[in-house]
Amino acid sequence: MTTLYVTEKAWKQIEQAVSKNPNVETGGILMGYQLNGDWVVSYASEPGPRAIKERKTVVFDENHIRTVTAKLKLRSAGRLRYIGDWHSHTVKRLTPSLGDRKTFALKTYQETYQSSSPIMLIVGMHRHGIRVRGFIYGGRMQEVERVILVGKQGSRQLN
């Protein structure tokens, strides 16, 4: 199974976006790279200024997402690339909905994204902070074994 490493910067971006309004879904793209068969998330965007955020759905601002993806890819000289999406749930269950599964599968074929094994993080507020579950698509959706926060203070498992 795959391990997903999330940098402190990317995790803070997710925490801040979810904390703004935990009563509506939010999300964004994950930019990063593959490392020895595992994945590293080093940037997590917000959904964009024209995104639709509701209690049980978020629709990303695709123009914003394309711009962010292109800028980060260019700035990193191609090292960073789109590796998946993240979004929040306003309910306790962090299980992908049917809509999540369809969107996830479609993104493997869309020209903007084209990721042979995209990642999806689902996050949600919990009384002890934000919980997370990770999934990877490789012909079918599978749960990521470990989601690890890495930073200056060391590392810890998030899921």
Domain locations in the chain as residue ranges:
3-157
The pTM of this model reads: 0.88
Rounded to the nearest 5 degrees, what angle is found at the Cα of 55, between the Cα atoms of 133 and 11? 35
Instruction: Classify domain 3-157 at the CATH class level.
Output: alpha beta
Give residue for tokens 């800028």.
71
pLDDT tens for the 159 residues of the chain, in order:
578 999 999 999 999 999 998 899 999 999 999 888 889 999 999 999 999 999 989 999 999 999 999 999 999 998 998 888 999 998 888 888 887 777 776 666 555 555 656 889 999 988 778 899 999 877 778 899 899 999 888 899 988
